[in-house]
């Protein structure tokens, strides 16, 4: 399996996992946008038990079901967990040591995207979650 590792901006928090990467994509939902202070969030899911942490992330409970981990020193987001996916931890692509290891497959919550985000990567775009849904756009 491929070794993946990453860290926050200041380096106080780092993580390692052998994966496997269960899915990878970009989320355009309002919650991710405001939590990351960015137009959209690029992340991927791995088995929750398979992530080894150095340092202890602080936790922001952004809703009853959701925990967003962040570095208590620099504030960078380092994980997302939800009771909806209890066996997964979602890690942020931008924290990867090797950014080329991120291979996005789709856009999620495309219906919530900001108008000033233009995307031409040809990936399928789902109005919300991909689970049980057909993409609203393919390509373009
Ligand atoms: Zn940090
Ligand atoms: Zn989101």
Give distance in angstroms: CA of 32 to centre of ligand 2: 4
Q: What are 110's two structure tokens?
A: 């495309």
Chain position carrying tokens 């919300």: 128
**Could you tell me if residue 127 is inside a domain?**
no
Q: What are 13's two structure tokens?
A: 């928090």
Report which bound ligand comes closest to the CA of 39.
Answer: 2
Q: What is the pLDDT of residue 59?
A: 97
Average pLDDT on 127-132 reads 84
CA distance 67 to 63: 7
CATH number at residue 90: 2.170.150.70
**Could you tell me if residue 124 is inside a domain?**
no
85-116 pLDDT, tens per residue? Answer: 999 999 999 999 999 999 999 999 999 999 99
Domain count, the chain: 1
**Could you tell me if residue 40 is inside a domain?**
yes
First to last CA, the chain: 32
Give distance in angstroms: CA of 78 to centre of ligand 1: 9
Average pLDDT on 117-123 reads 93
18 lies in which domain range?
Answer: 4-112
pTM: 0.92
Chain position carrying tokens 């919550």: 109
Report which bound ligand comes closest to the CA of 8.
Answer: 1
Q: Using the 8-state DSSP alphabet, how is residue 41 labeled?
A: E
42-83 pLDDT, tens per residue? Answer: 999 999 999 999 999 999 998 899 999 999 999 999 999 999
**Could you tell me if residue 123 is inside a domain?**
no
**Could you tell me if residue 46 is inside a domain?**
yes
**Could you tell me if residue 78 is inside a domain?**
yes
Give distance in angstroms: CA of 109 to centre of ligand 2: 7
**Could you tell me if residue 122 is inside a domain?**
no
**Could you tell me if residue 134 is inside a domain?**
no
């Amino acid at each position: 399996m491929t070794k993946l590792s990453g860290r926050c901006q200041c380096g106080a928090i780092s993580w390692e996992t052998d994966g496997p990467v269960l899915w990878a994509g970009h989320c355009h939902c309002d919650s991710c946008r405001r939590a990351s202070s960015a137009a959209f969030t690029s992340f991927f899911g791995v088995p929750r038990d398979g992530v080894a942490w150095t340092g202890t992330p602080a936790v922001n409970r952004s809703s009853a079901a959701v925990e967003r981990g962040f570095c208590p020193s620099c504030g960078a987001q380092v994980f997302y967990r939800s009771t909806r996916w209890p066996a997964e931890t979602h890690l942020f692509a931008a924290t990867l040591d090797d950014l080329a290891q991120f291979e996005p497959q789709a856009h999620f919550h495309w219906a919530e995207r900001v108008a000033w985000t233009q995307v031409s990567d040809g990936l399928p775009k789902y109005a919300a979650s991909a689970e049980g849904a057909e993409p609203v756009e393919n390509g373009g």
